[in-house]
Structure 1
Amino acid sequence: MTAPKTWLITGASSGLGAALAEAALKAGHKVIATARNIITAAEANPQISSLGGHWIELDVTSPDTAKKVEDAVQEAGGVIDVVINNAGYSLLGSIEDMSESEIETQFSTNVYGPVRVLKGVLPFMRASKSGTVVNISSSAGIDGLPTCAIYAGTKFALEGMSESLARELAPFNIRVLIVEPGSLRTNFWSAYVEPAAGMNKGYTGTPLDKTLQLFKSNTGSQPGDAVKCAARILEVVDGVGMGSGKQDLLRLPLGPDCYKRFQTKIDNLQENLLATKDIAHSTAY
Protein backbone atom coordinates (compact mmCIF):
# COMPACT_ATOMS: atom_id res chain seq x y z
CA MET A 1 0.00 0.00 0.00
CA THR A 2 1.27 3.46 -0.92
CA ALA A 3 1.57 6.30 1.56
CA PRO A 4 -1.66 8.29 1.97
CA LYS A 5 -1.92 11.30 -0.32
CA THR A 6 -4.25 14.28 -0.60
CA TRP A 7 -6.36 14.24 -3.77
CA LEU A 8 -8.52 17.01 -5.20
CA ILE A 9 -11.13 15.81 -7.70
CA THR A 10 -13.35 18.17 -9.68
CA GLY A 11 -16.74 17.08 -10.94
CA ALA A 12 -17.04 14.40 -8.26
CA SER A 13 -20.83 14.47 -8.07
CA SER A 14 -21.36 11.58 -10.50
CA GLY A 15 -19.84 9.21 -13.01
CA LEU A 16 -16.08 8.84 -13.23
CA GLY A 17 -15.44 11.64 -10.72
CA ALA A 18 -17.51 9.98 -8.02
CA ALA A 19 -15.94 6.59 -8.78
CA LEU A 20 -12.46 8.12 -8.50
CA ALA A 21 -13.25 9.77 -5.17
CA GLU A 22 -14.54 6.48 -3.74
CA ALA A 23 -11.57 4.48 -5.08
CA ALA A 24 -9.03 6.95 -3.67
CA LEU A 25 -10.71 7.00 -0.26
CA LYS A 26 -10.85 3.20 -0.11
CA ALA A 27 -7.14 3.15 -0.94
CA GLY A 28 -6.47 5.25 2.15
CA HIS A 29 -6.09 8.65 0.53
CA LYS A 30 -7.58 11.95 1.66
CA VAL A 31 -10.04 13.38 -0.86
CA ILE A 32 -11.31 16.90 -1.46
CA ALA A 33 -14.31 16.32 -3.73
CA THR A 34 -15.78 19.25 -5.62
CA ALA A 35 -19.21 19.83 -7.10
CA ARG A 36 -21.31 22.82 -8.11
CA ASN A 37 -23.99 21.78 -5.60
CA ILE A 38 -22.45 19.91 -2.69
CA ILE A 39 -25.80 19.21 -1.01
CA THR A 40 -27.18 17.19 -3.90
CA ALA A 41 -23.74 15.70 -4.59
CA ALA A 42 -23.38 14.47 -1.01
CA GLU A 43 -26.92 13.07 -1.03
CA ALA A 44 -26.28 11.20 -4.28
CA ASN A 45 -22.91 9.90 -3.05
CA PRO A 46 -23.16 9.28 0.71
CA GLN A 47 -20.23 6.87 0.51
CA ILE A 48 -17.81 9.74 -0.13
CA SER A 49 -18.61 11.45 3.16
CA SER A 50 -18.85 8.18 5.09
CA LEU A 51 -15.38 7.21 3.88
CA GLY A 52 -13.96 10.53 5.08
CA GLY A 53 -14.14 12.63 1.94
CA HIS A 54 -14.58 16.39 2.21
CA TRP A 55 -16.90 18.27 -0.16
CA ILE A 56 -16.29 21.82 -1.36
CA GLU A 57 -18.50 23.86 -3.67
CA LEU A 58 -16.72 24.67 -6.90
CA ASP A 59 -17.87 25.86 -10.32
CA VAL A 60 -14.77 25.71 -12.52
CA THR A 61 -16.20 28.39 -14.83
CA SER A 62 -15.99 30.91 -12.00
CA PRO A 63 -13.07 33.39 -11.99
CA ASP A 64 -12.53 32.75 -8.26
CA THR A 65 -11.81 29.03 -8.85
CA ALA A 66 -8.06 29.30 -8.20
CA LYS A 67 -8.64 31.11 -4.89
CA LYS A 68 -11.23 28.55 -3.74
CA VAL A 69 -8.86 25.70 -4.62
CA GLU A 70 -5.99 27.42 -2.83
CA ASP A 71 -8.13 27.90 0.29
CA ALA A 72 -9.25 24.26 0.23
CA VAL A 73 -5.64 23.04 0.04
CA GLN A 74 -4.62 25.33 2.90
CA GLU A 75 -7.47 23.99 5.03
CA ALA A 76 -6.38 20.44 4.20
CA GLY A 77 -2.88 21.08 5.55
CA GLY A 78 -1.20 23.00 2.75
CA VAL A 79 -0.22 19.92 0.72
CA ILE A 80 -1.83 18.61 -2.46
CA ASP A 81 -0.45 15.43 -4.04
CA VAL A 82 -2.91 14.59 -6.81
CA VAL A 83 -5.32 16.82 -8.72
CA ILE A 84 -7.91 15.29 -11.05
CA ASN A 85 -9.36 17.73 -13.58
CA ASN A 86 -12.53 15.80 -14.31
CA ALA A 87 -15.31 18.41 -14.43
CA GLY A 88 -16.74 18.74 -17.93
CA TYR A 89 -19.63 18.18 -20.28
CA SER A 90 -20.23 17.81 -24.02
CA LEU A 91 -21.84 20.29 -26.41
CA LEU A 92 -22.90 18.31 -29.47
CA GLY A 93 -24.20 19.44 -32.85
CA SER A 94 -23.23 21.65 -35.76
CA ILE A 95 -21.07 24.67 -35.07
CA GLU A 96 -23.40 26.57 -37.41
CA ASP A 97 -26.15 26.16 -34.85
CA MET A 98 -24.10 26.99 -31.76
CA SER A 99 -24.13 30.48 -30.31
CA GLU A 100 -20.84 32.03 -29.30
CA SER A 101 -22.08 31.98 -25.71
CA GLU A 102 -22.66 28.21 -25.87
CA ILE A 103 -19.20 27.67 -27.35
CA GLU A 104 -17.57 29.95 -24.78
CA THR A 105 -19.23 28.06 -21.90
CA GLN A 106 -17.98 24.75 -23.32
CA PHE A 107 -14.41 26.03 -23.47
CA SER A 108 -14.71 27.76 -20.10
CA THR A 109 -15.63 24.44 -18.49
CA ASN A 110 -13.45 21.96 -20.35
CA VAL A 111 -10.32 24.06 -20.98
CA TYR A 112 -10.24 27.16 -18.79
CA GLY A 113 -11.66 25.14 -15.89
CA PRO A 114 -8.55 22.95 -15.59
CA VAL A 115 -6.35 26.03 -16.05
CA ARG A 116 -8.09 27.77 -13.14
CA VAL A 117 -7.71 24.68 -10.93
CA LEU A 118 -4.03 24.33 -11.85
CA LYS A 119 -3.38 27.94 -10.94
CA GLY A 120 -4.62 27.04 -7.47
CA VAL A 121 -2.63 23.83 -6.97
CA LEU A 122 0.64 24.25 -8.86
CA PRO A 123 2.26 26.67 -6.39
CA PHE A 124 1.85 24.01 -3.65
CA MET A 125 3.20 21.25 -5.89
CA ARG A 126 6.20 23.29 -6.98
CA ALA A 127 6.98 24.15 -3.35
CA SER A 128 7.01 20.48 -2.38
CA LYS A 129 8.63 19.44 -5.69
CA SER A 130 6.13 16.63 -6.08
CA GLY A 131 2.64 15.95 -7.34
CA THR A 132 0.54 14.40 -10.07
CA VAL A 133 -1.77 16.28 -12.42
CA VAL A 134 -4.41 14.07 -14.03
CA ASN A 135 -6.33 15.71 -16.85
CA ILE A 136 -9.40 13.75 -17.93
CA SER A 137 -9.56 14.00 -21.69
CA SER A 138 -11.55 11.62 -23.91
CA SER A 139 -11.21 9.43 -26.95
CA ALA A 140 -12.50 12.63 -28.61
CA GLY A 141 -9.22 14.25 -27.58
CA ILE A 142 -7.44 12.17 -30.22
CA ASP A 143 -10.22 11.35 -32.68
CA GLY A 144 -12.99 13.84 -33.39
CA LEU A 145 -16.31 12.38 -34.52
CA PRO A 146 -19.13 14.23 -36.32
CA THR A 147 -21.23 16.40 -33.92
CA CYS A 148 -18.16 16.76 -31.68
CA ALA A 149 -16.34 19.65 -33.36
CA ILE A 150 -16.48 21.93 -30.33
CA TYR A 151 -16.33 19.19 -27.67
CA ALA A 152 -13.38 17.52 -29.42
CA GLY A 153 -11.84 20.95 -29.84
CA THR A 154 -11.83 21.41 -26.06
CA LYS A 155 -10.30 17.98 -25.50
CA PHE A 156 -7.65 18.49 -28.20
CA ALA A 157 -6.80 21.75 -26.42
CA LEU A 158 -6.50 19.92 -23.10
CA GLU A 159 -4.26 17.29 -24.72
CA GLY A 160 -1.90 19.88 -26.19
CA MET A 161 -1.81 21.85 -22.98
CA SER A 162 -1.01 18.67 -21.04
CA GLU A 163 1.85 17.75 -23.38
CA SER A 164 3.49 21.12 -22.77
CA LEU A 165 2.78 21.01 -19.03
CA ALA A 166 4.43 17.60 -18.75
CA ARG A 167 7.66 19.13 -20.05
CA GLU A 168 7.34 22.38 -18.10
CA LEU A 169 6.63 20.70 -14.76
CA ALA A 170 9.16 17.86 -15.02
CA PRO A 171 11.94 19.91 -13.31
CA PHE A 172 9.68 20.19 -10.26
CA ASN A 173 9.05 16.43 -10.16
CA ILE A 174 5.39 17.05 -11.05
CA ARG A 175 3.93 14.37 -13.27
CA VAL A 176 1.17 14.93 -15.86
CA LEU A 177 -1.15 12.11 -16.91
CA ILE A 178 -3.76 12.44 -19.66
CA VAL A 179 -6.63 9.99 -19.20
CA GLU A 180 -8.65 9.16 -22.31
CA PRO A 181 -11.78 7.15 -21.52
CA GLY A 182 -13.88 5.62 -24.25
CA SER A 183 -17.65 5.60 -23.92
CA LEU A 184 -18.57 5.01 -20.27
CA ARG A 185 -21.90 3.81 -18.93
CA THR A 186 -22.52 6.95 -16.87
CA ASN A 187 -24.90 9.87 -17.20
CA PHE A 188 -22.27 11.83 -19.18
CA TRP A 189 -23.77 11.23 -22.62
CA SER A 190 -27.37 11.52 -21.42
CA ALA A 191 -26.43 14.91 -19.97
CA TYR A 192 -24.92 16.32 -23.15
CA VAL A 193 -26.10 19.71 -24.40
CA GLU A 194 -27.44 20.51 -27.86
CA PRO A 195 -27.56 24.02 -29.31
CA ALA A 196 -30.67 25.93 -28.27
CA ALA A 197 -31.28 26.72 -31.93
CA GLY A 198 -31.70 23.02 -32.76
CA MET A 199 -30.19 21.32 -35.80
CA ASN A 200 -30.07 22.97 -39.19
CA LYS A 201 -32.21 20.90 -41.55
CA GLY A 202 -29.37 20.87 -44.03
CA TYR A 203 -27.60 18.32 -41.82
CA THR A 204 -30.50 15.84 -41.81
CA GLY A 205 -29.27 12.40 -42.83
CA THR A 206 -25.59 13.44 -42.79
CA PRO A 207 -22.87 11.83 -40.61
CA LEU A 208 -23.49 14.56 -38.03
CA ASP A 209 -27.17 13.65 -37.69
CA LYS A 210 -26.52 9.89 -37.74
CA THR A 211 -23.80 10.10 -35.09
CA LEU A 212 -25.97 12.23 -32.83
CA GLN A 213 -28.80 9.69 -33.11
CA LEU A 214 -26.32 6.91 -32.33
CA PHE A 215 -25.22 8.71 -29.17
CA LYS A 216 -28.86 9.03 -28.11
CA SER A 217 -29.65 5.37 -28.74
CA ASN A 218 -26.52 4.15 -26.93
CA THR A 219 -27.45 5.69 -23.58
CA GLY A 220 -27.33 2.96 -20.97
CA SER A 221 -25.49 0.50 -23.20
CA GLN A 222 -22.03 2.07 -23.38
CA PRO A 223 -19.23 -0.51 -23.02
CA GLY A 224 -17.07 1.27 -20.42
CA ASP A 225 -17.28 0.65 -16.66
CA ALA A 226 -16.51 3.82 -14.68
CA VAL A 227 -15.60 1.85 -11.54
CA LYS A 228 -13.01 -0.22 -13.42
CA CYS A 229 -11.67 2.91 -15.10
CA ALA A 230 -11.30 4.59 -11.71
CA ALA A 231 -9.41 1.56 -10.42
CA ARG A 232 -6.97 1.65 -13.37
CA ILE A 233 -6.39 5.40 -12.97
CA LEU A 234 -5.71 4.92 -9.24
CA GLU A 235 -3.26 2.11 -9.99
CA VAL A 236 -1.35 4.17 -12.57
CA VAL A 237 -1.21 7.20 -10.26
CA ASP A 238 -0.04 5.10 -7.29
CA GLY A 239 2.18 2.77 -9.35
CA VAL A 240 0.50 -0.38 -8.06
CA GLY A 241 -1.38 -3.30 -9.63
CA MET A 242 -1.70 -2.88 -13.40
CA GLY A 243 -0.06 0.55 -13.02
CA SER A 244 3.17 -0.85 -11.61
CA GLY A 245 6.15 0.30 -13.69
CA LYS A 246 3.97 2.69 -15.72
CA GLN A 247 4.69 5.89 -13.81
CA ASP A 248 6.26 7.48 -16.91
CA LEU A 249 3.13 7.21 -19.04
CA LEU A 250 1.82 10.46 -20.48
CA ARG A 251 -1.42 8.98 -21.85
CA LEU A 252 -3.80 6.40 -20.46
CA PRO A 253 -6.42 5.24 -23.00
CA LEU A 254 -9.27 3.33 -21.35
CA GLY A 255 -11.63 0.94 -23.09
CA PRO A 256 -11.35 -1.34 -26.13
CA ASP A 257 -13.40 1.17 -28.13
CA CYS A 258 -10.92 3.94 -27.32
CA TYR A 259 -7.93 1.72 -28.06
CA LYS A 260 -9.36 0.76 -31.47
CA ARG A 261 -10.03 4.38 -32.40
CA PHE A 262 -6.51 5.39 -31.39
CA GLN A 263 -4.93 2.58 -33.40
CA THR A 264 -6.92 3.61 -36.48
CA LYS A 265 -5.90 7.25 -35.95
CA ILE A 266 -2.23 6.27 -35.67
CA ASP A 267 -2.44 4.18 -38.85
CA ASN A 268 -4.11 7.03 -40.74
CA LEU A 269 -1.56 9.55 -39.47
CA GLN A 270 1.29 7.31 -40.55
CA GLU A 271 -0.26 6.87 -44.00
CA ASN A 272 -0.80 10.63 -44.32
CA LEU A 273 2.76 11.36 -43.16
CA LEU A 274 4.34 9.00 -45.66
CA ALA A 275 2.15 10.33 -48.49
CA THR A 276 3.34 13.90 -47.82
CA LYS A 277 7.02 13.17 -47.17
CA ASP A 278 8.18 14.60 -50.52
CA ILE A 279 5.98 17.68 -50.13
CA ALA A 280 7.19 18.33 -46.58
CA HIS A 281 10.86 18.07 -47.60
CA SER A 282 10.38 20.27 -50.69
CA THR A 283 9.80 23.43 -48.70
CA ALA A 284 13.19 23.92 -47.01
CA TYR A 285 15.64 26.61 -48.07
Structure 2
Amino acid sequence: MSHKTWLVTGASSGLGTAITESALRAGHKVLATARNPAKAAAANPLIAELGGIWISLDVTQPETTRYVERAIRENGGSIDVLVNNAGYSLLGSIEDMSEAEIEAQFSTNLFGPIRVLKGALPFMRKQRSGTVVNVSSSAGFDAFPGCAMYAGSKFALEGMSESLAGELQPFGIRVLIAEPGIFRTNFLSAFVTPEAGMTEDYEGTSIEGMLHAFRASNGNQQGDPVKAAARILEVVSGTGMGVGKENLLRLPLGPDCYDRFQAKCDSLQENLLQMKEIAYSTNIDI
Protein backbone atom coordinates (compact mmCIF):
# COMPACT_ATOMS: atom_id res chain seq x y z
CA MET A 1 0.00 0.00 0.00
CA SER A 2 1.51 3.31 -1.12
CA HIS A 3 1.71 6.11 1.39
CA LYS A 4 -0.89 8.86 0.95
CA THR A 5 -1.61 12.31 2.33
CA TRP A 6 -4.77 12.44 4.44
CA LEU A 7 -6.67 15.42 5.84
CA VAL A 8 -9.00 14.62 8.75
CA THR A 9 -11.36 17.21 10.23
CA GLY A 10 -12.45 16.91 13.83
CA ALA A 11 -9.35 14.91 14.71
CA SER A 12 -9.28 16.03 18.34
CA SER A 13 -11.57 13.32 19.72
CA GLY A 14 -13.60 10.21 19.09
CA LEU A 15 -13.66 8.62 15.68
CA GLY A 16 -11.60 11.47 14.21
CA THR A 17 -8.73 10.69 16.57
CA ALA A 18 -9.00 6.96 15.84
CA ILE A 19 -8.96 7.53 12.06
CA THR A 20 -5.97 9.85 12.34
CA GLU A 21 -3.97 7.40 14.44
CA SER A 22 -4.92 4.46 12.21
CA ALA A 23 -3.76 6.27 9.07
CA LEU A 24 -0.52 7.36 10.75
CA ARG A 25 0.23 3.82 11.94
CA ALA A 26 -0.23 2.65 8.36
CA GLY A 27 2.51 5.05 7.29
CA HIS A 28 0.40 7.82 5.81
CA LYS A 29 0.94 11.53 6.22
CA VAL A 30 -1.96 13.10 8.10
CA LEU A 31 -3.04 16.71 8.44
CA ALA A 32 -5.16 16.57 11.59
CA THR A 33 -7.47 19.54 12.04
CA ALA A 34 -9.02 20.93 15.21
CA ARG A 35 -10.48 24.23 16.34
CA ASN A 36 -7.82 24.39 19.05
CA PRO A 37 -4.81 22.39 17.84
CA ALA A 38 -2.72 23.14 20.95
CA LYS A 39 -5.41 21.69 23.20
CA ALA A 40 -5.96 18.78 20.82
CA ALA A 41 -2.25 17.98 20.68
CA ALA A 42 -2.01 17.98 24.49
CA ALA A 43 -4.99 15.65 24.76
CA ASN A 44 -3.73 13.35 21.99
CA PRO A 45 0.09 13.32 22.16
CA LEU A 46 0.31 10.10 20.15
CA ILE A 47 -0.74 11.89 16.97
CA ALA A 48 2.32 14.14 16.99
CA GLU A 49 4.52 11.24 18.10
CA LEU A 50 3.38 9.28 15.05
CA GLY A 51 4.16 12.23 12.78
CA GLY A 52 0.75 13.84 12.51
CA ILE A 53 0.59 17.54 11.66
CA TRP A 54 -1.95 19.62 13.58
CA ILE A 55 -3.80 22.28 11.61
CA SER A 56 -6.10 24.97 13.05
CA LEU A 57 -9.51 24.75 11.39
CA ASP A 58 -13.05 25.66 12.41
CA VAL A 59 -15.27 24.33 9.60
CA THR A 60 -18.05 26.80 10.43
CA GLN A 61 -15.95 29.78 9.36
CA PRO A 62 -16.27 31.37 5.90
CA GLU A 63 -12.47 31.26 5.54
CA THR A 64 -12.44 27.44 5.81
CA THR A 65 -11.95 26.85 2.08
CA ARG A 66 -8.97 29.19 1.94
CA TYR A 67 -7.42 27.67 5.07
CA VAL A 68 -7.75 24.16 3.63
CA GLU A 69 -6.12 25.24 0.36
CA ARG A 70 -3.24 26.83 2.26
CA ALA A 71 -2.74 23.81 4.53
CA ILE A 72 -2.50 21.49 1.53
CA ARG A 73 -0.10 23.77 -0.35
CA GLU A 74 2.14 24.16 2.70
CA ASN A 75 2.31 20.39 3.21
CA GLY A 76 3.29 19.06 -0.17
CA GLY A 77 0.61 20.42 -2.48
CA SER A 78 -1.40 17.21 -2.84
CA ILE A 79 -4.21 15.48 -0.98
CA ASP A 80 -5.20 11.84 -1.46
CA VAL A 81 -7.81 11.21 1.23
CA LEU A 82 -10.15 13.78 2.75
CA VAL A 83 -12.14 12.72 5.82
CA ASN A 84 -14.99 15.08 6.67
CA ASN A 85 -15.52 14.01 10.26
CA ALA A 86 -16.10 17.20 12.27
CA GLY A 87 -19.63 17.33 13.66
CA TYR A 88 -21.92 17.28 16.66
CA SER A 89 -25.58 16.61 17.48
CA LEU A 90 -28.36 19.00 18.45
CA LEU A 91 -31.13 16.91 20.02
CA GLY A 92 -34.64 17.77 21.19
CA SER A 93 -37.86 19.21 19.82
CA ILE A 94 -37.74 21.40 16.72
CA GLU A 95 -40.12 23.80 18.45
CA ASP A 96 -37.59 24.45 21.19
CA MET A 97 -34.63 25.07 18.88
CA SER A 98 -33.69 28.62 17.99
CA GLU A 99 -32.81 29.63 14.44
CA ALA A 100 -29.24 30.19 15.58
CA GLU A 101 -29.01 26.67 17.06
CA ILE A 102 -30.40 25.11 13.88
CA GLU A 103 -28.08 27.14 11.67
CA ALA A 104 -25.08 26.13 13.80
CA GLN A 105 -26.02 22.46 13.43
CA PHE A 106 -26.15 22.66 9.65
CA SER A 107 -23.13 24.95 9.43
CA THR A 108 -21.01 22.29 11.13
CA ASN A 109 -22.49 19.05 9.79
CA LEU A 110 -23.33 20.04 6.21
CA PHE A 111 -21.85 23.37 5.17
CA GLY A 112 -18.60 22.55 6.99
CA PRO A 113 -17.88 19.55 4.75
CA ILE A 114 -18.86 21.63 1.70
CA ARG A 115 -16.37 24.35 2.67
CA VAL A 116 -13.62 21.76 3.16
CA LEU A 117 -14.47 20.02 -0.12
CA LYS A 118 -14.22 23.28 -2.03
CA GLY A 119 -10.68 23.66 -0.69
CA ALA A 120 -9.53 20.10 -1.38
CA LEU A 121 -11.26 19.09 -4.62
CA PRO A 122 -9.21 21.33 -6.96
CA PHE A 123 -6.08 19.42 -5.88
CA MET A 124 -7.76 16.04 -6.39
CA ARG A 125 -9.10 17.05 -9.80
CA LYS A 126 -5.66 18.20 -10.90
CA GLN A 127 -4.07 14.90 -9.90
CA ARG A 128 -7.08 12.91 -11.22
CA SER A 129 -7.30 10.81 -8.08
CA GLY A 130 -8.45 10.89 -4.47
CA THR A 131 -10.98 9.64 -1.97
CA VAL A 132 -13.53 11.69 -0.06
CA VAL A 133 -14.85 10.09 3.12
CA ASN A 134 -17.93 11.89 4.42
CA VAL A 135 -18.70 10.70 7.93
CA SER A 136 -22.45 10.47 8.31
CA SER A 137 -24.29 8.41 10.93
CA SER A 138 -26.90 5.71 11.27
CA ALA A 139 -29.13 8.78 11.78
CA GLY A 140 -28.30 9.76 8.21
CA PHE A 141 -30.43 6.87 6.96
CA ASP A 142 -32.92 6.31 9.77
CA ALA A 143 -34.08 9.14 12.03
CA PHE A 144 -35.09 8.66 15.67
CA PRO A 145 -37.42 11.04 17.55
CA GLY A 146 -35.55 13.99 19.01
CA CYS A 147 -32.92 13.85 16.27
CA ALA A 148 -34.68 15.88 13.59
CA MET A 149 -32.00 18.52 13.07
CA TYR A 150 -29.06 16.15 13.51
CA ALA A 151 -30.62 13.56 11.22
CA GLY A 152 -31.66 16.29 8.80
CA SER A 153 -28.07 17.49 8.51
CA LYS A 154 -26.82 13.94 7.96
CA PHE A 155 -29.57 13.06 5.48
CA ALA A 156 -28.51 16.15 3.55
CA LEU A 157 -24.87 15.09 3.71
CA GLU A 158 -25.79 11.67 2.32
CA GLY A 159 -27.86 13.12 -0.52
CA MET A 160 -25.05 15.50 -1.40
CA SER A 161 -22.56 12.63 -1.30
CA GLU A 162 -24.65 10.50 -3.67
CA SER A 163 -24.68 13.28 -6.25
CA LEU A 164 -21.03 14.14 -5.62
CA ALA A 165 -19.98 10.54 -6.29
CA GLY A 166 -21.32 10.79 -9.83
CA GLU A 167 -19.90 14.26 -10.38
CA LEU A 168 -16.38 13.28 -9.32
CA GLN A 169 -16.18 9.84 -10.93
CA PRO A 170 -14.84 11.22 -14.26
CA PHE A 171 -11.85 12.63 -12.36
CA GLY A 172 -10.96 9.35 -10.65
CA ILE A 173 -12.18 10.64 -7.29
CA ARG A 174 -14.16 8.28 -5.09
CA VAL A 175 -16.77 9.24 -2.50
CA LEU A 176 -17.40 6.99 0.51
CA ILE A 177 -20.11 7.59 3.11
CA ALA A 178 -19.10 6.18 6.50
CA GLU A 179 -22.14 5.54 8.70
CA PRO A 180 -21.22 4.79 12.32
CA GLY A 181 -23.77 3.41 14.72
CA ILE A 182 -23.22 3.80 18.46
CA PHE A 183 -19.53 3.76 19.34
CA ARG A 184 -17.78 4.30 22.64
CA THR A 185 -16.69 7.89 22.09
CA ASN A 186 -17.69 11.15 23.76
CA PHE A 187 -20.53 11.62 21.26
CA LEU A 188 -23.34 10.80 23.71
CA SER A 189 -21.85 12.98 26.43
CA ALA A 190 -21.32 15.94 24.12
CA PHE A 191 -24.68 16.31 22.42
CA VAL A 192 -26.39 19.68 22.70
CA THR A 193 -30.00 20.36 23.70
CA PRO A 194 -31.94 23.58 23.07
CA GLU A 195 -31.06 26.42 25.41
CA ALA A 196 -34.79 27.10 25.85
CA GLY A 197 -35.32 23.72 27.50
CA MET A 198 -38.17 21.35 26.65
CA THR A 199 -41.75 22.42 26.05
CA GLU A 200 -43.91 20.82 28.73
CA ASP A 201 -46.10 18.93 26.27
CA TYR A 202 -43.06 16.97 25.04
CA GLU A 203 -42.19 15.73 28.53
CA GLY A 204 -42.88 12.01 28.75
CA THR A 205 -43.00 11.60 24.96
CA SER A 206 -40.66 9.74 22.62
CA ILE A 207 -38.34 12.76 22.49
CA GLU A 208 -37.66 12.76 26.21
CA GLY A 209 -37.43 8.97 26.19
CA MET A 210 -34.80 9.02 23.47
CA LEU A 211 -32.71 11.62 25.29
CA HIS A 212 -32.83 9.51 28.46
CA ALA A 213 -31.81 6.43 26.47
CA PHE A 214 -28.84 8.23 24.95
CA ARG A 215 -27.64 9.43 28.35
CA ALA A 216 -28.10 6.00 29.92
CA SER A 217 -26.09 4.26 27.21
CA ASN A 218 -23.14 6.65 27.43
CA GLY A 219 -20.06 4.70 28.42
CA ASN A 220 -21.72 1.37 27.62
CA GLN A 221 -21.61 1.56 23.83
CA GLN A 222 -20.44 -1.69 22.24
CA GLY A 223 -18.80 -0.09 19.21
CA ASP A 224 -14.99 0.18 19.24
CA PRO A 225 -13.86 3.35 17.42
CA VAL A 226 -10.41 1.87 16.81
CA LYS A 227 -11.97 -1.03 14.89
CA ALA A 228 -14.25 1.37 12.98
CA ALA A 229 -11.23 3.43 11.97
CA ALA A 230 -9.42 0.29 10.83
CA ARG A 231 -12.38 -0.72 8.64
CA ILE A 232 -12.51 2.77 7.09
CA LEU A 233 -8.78 2.59 6.33
CA GLU A 234 -9.21 -0.86 4.74
CA VAL A 235 -12.16 0.18 2.56
CA VAL A 236 -10.34 3.34 1.44
CA SER A 237 -7.15 1.42 0.60
CA GLY A 238 -8.80 -1.77 -0.72
CA THR A 239 -6.95 -3.93 1.78
CA GLY A 240 -8.02 -6.42 4.45
CA MET A 241 -11.81 -6.48 4.78
CA GLY A 242 -11.98 -3.69 2.18
CA VAL A 243 -10.85 -5.89 -0.72
CA GLY A 244 -13.53 -5.88 -3.41
CA LYS A 245 -15.40 -2.99 -1.79
CA GLU A 246 -13.71 -0.26 -3.81
CA ASN A 247 -16.81 0.72 -5.79
CA LEU A 248 -19.35 0.80 -2.97
CA LEU A 249 -20.75 4.12 -1.75
CA ARG A 250 -21.88 3.31 1.80
CA LEU A 251 -19.99 1.84 4.72
CA PRO A 252 -22.31 0.98 7.64
CA LEU A 253 -20.33 0.52 10.85
CA GLY A 254 -21.61 -1.50 13.80
CA PRO A 255 -24.13 -4.33 14.11
CA ASP A 256 -26.66 -1.83 15.47
CA CYS A 257 -26.26 0.30 12.35
CA TYR A 258 -26.53 -2.68 10.00
CA ASP A 259 -29.65 -4.05 11.70
CA ARG A 260 -31.24 -0.61 11.77
CA PHE A 261 -30.54 -0.12 8.06
CA GLN A 262 -31.96 -3.54 7.21
CA ALA A 263 -35.17 -2.78 9.08
CA LYS A 264 -35.43 0.59 7.30
CA CYS A 265 -34.89 -1.05 3.90
CA ASP A 266 -37.60 -3.60 4.66
CA SER A 267 -39.98 -0.82 5.73
CA LEU A 268 -39.19 1.21 2.60
CA GLN A 269 -39.82 -1.80 0.38
CA GLU A 270 -43.18 -2.45 2.02
CA ASN A 271 -44.15 1.21 1.73
CA LEU A 272 -43.13 1.22 -1.94
CA LEU A 273 -45.19 -1.86 -2.75
CA GLN A 274 -48.24 -0.51 -0.93
CA MET A 275 -48.04 2.73 -2.90
CA LYS A 276 -47.29 1.25 -6.33
CA GLU A 277 -50.87 1.47 -7.58
CA ILE A 278 -51.10 5.13 -6.58
CA ALA A 279 -47.71 5.96 -8.13
CA TYR A 280 -48.75 4.42 -11.44
CA SER A 281 -52.12 6.20 -11.46
CA THR A 282 -50.85 9.74 -12.00
CA ASN A 283 -49.80 9.95 -15.68
CA ILE A 284 -51.74 12.07 -18.16
CA ASP A 285 -54.38 10.00 -19.94
CA ILE A 286 -53.63 9.47 -23.61
When normalised by structure 1's length, the TM-score is: 0.99
Q: What is aligned with 1:150?
A: 149
Instruction: Please give the residue correspondences for 1:39-54 in structure 2 after superposition, counting only pairs within 5 Å.
Output: 39-54=38-53
1:212 aligns with 2:211: yes
Q: SS state of the match for residue 145, structure 1?
A: coil
Q: What is aligned with 2:140?
A: 141
Q: What is aligned with 2:83?
A: 84
Shift of 1:222: 1.0
Shift of 1:80: 0.2
1:233-258 deviation digits (Å, cap 9, x = unpaired) = 00000100000111101000000000
Q: What is aligned with 1:130?
A: 129
Q: What is aligned with 2:239?
A: 240
Q: SS state of the match for residue 221, structure 1?
A: coil
What amino acid does structure 2 have at the position aligned with 1:219? N
| Separation in structure 2 between the aligned mates of residue 166 and residue 38 of structure 1, nearest angstrom | 31
| Separation in structure 1 between the aligned mates of residue 166 and residue 242 of structure 2, nearest angstrom | 21
| Separation in structure 1 between the aligned mates of residue 49 and residue 190 of structure 2, nearest angstrom | 27
Q: SS state of the match for residue 213, structure 1?
A: helix
Shift of 1:205: 1.1
Q: What is aligned with 1:251?
A: 250
What amino acid does structure 2 have at the position aligned with 1:97? D
What amino acid does structure 2 have at the position aligned with 1:174? I
When normalised by structure 2's length, the TM-score is: 0.99
What amino acid does structure 2 have at the position aligned with 1:56? I
| Separation in structure 1 between the aligned mates of residue 111 and residue 8 of structure 2, nearest angstrom | 16
Q: Tell me the percent identity.
A: 68
| Separation in structure 2 between the aligned mates of residue 184 and residue 199 of structure 1, nearest angstrom | 27
1:215-247 deviation digits (Å, cap 9, x = unpaired) = 011110112110000000000001000001111
| Separation in structure 2 between the aligned mates of residue 55 and residue 38 of structure 1, nearest angstrom | 6
What amino acid does structure 2 have at the position aligned with 1:133? V
What amino acid does structure 1 have at the position aligned with 2:144? L
| Separation in structure 2 between the aligned mates of residue 189 and residue 160 of structure 1, nearest angstrom | 25
Moved over 2 A (4+): none
Q: What is aligned with 2:66?
A: 67
Q: What is aligned with 1:283?
A: 282
| Separation in structure 1 between the aligned mates of residue 127 and residue 38 of structure 2, nearest angstrom | 33
Q: What is aligned with 1:22?
A: 21
Shift of 1:17: 0.2
What amino acid does structure 1 have at the position aligned with 2:24? L
| Separation in structure 1 between the aligned mates of residue 41 and residue 90 of structure 2, nearest angstrom | 26
Q: SS state of the match for residue 189, structure 1?
A: helix
1:129-176 deviation digits (Å, cap 9, x = unpaired) = 000000000000000001100000000000000000000000000000
Q: What is aligned with 2:222?
A: 223
Shift of 1:124: 0.3
Q: SS state of the match for residue 100, structure 2?
A: helix
What amino acid does structure 2 have at the position aligned with 1:223? Q
Q: What is aligned with 2:179?
A: 180
Question: Structure 2 regions of 5+ residues with no counterpart?
Answer: none
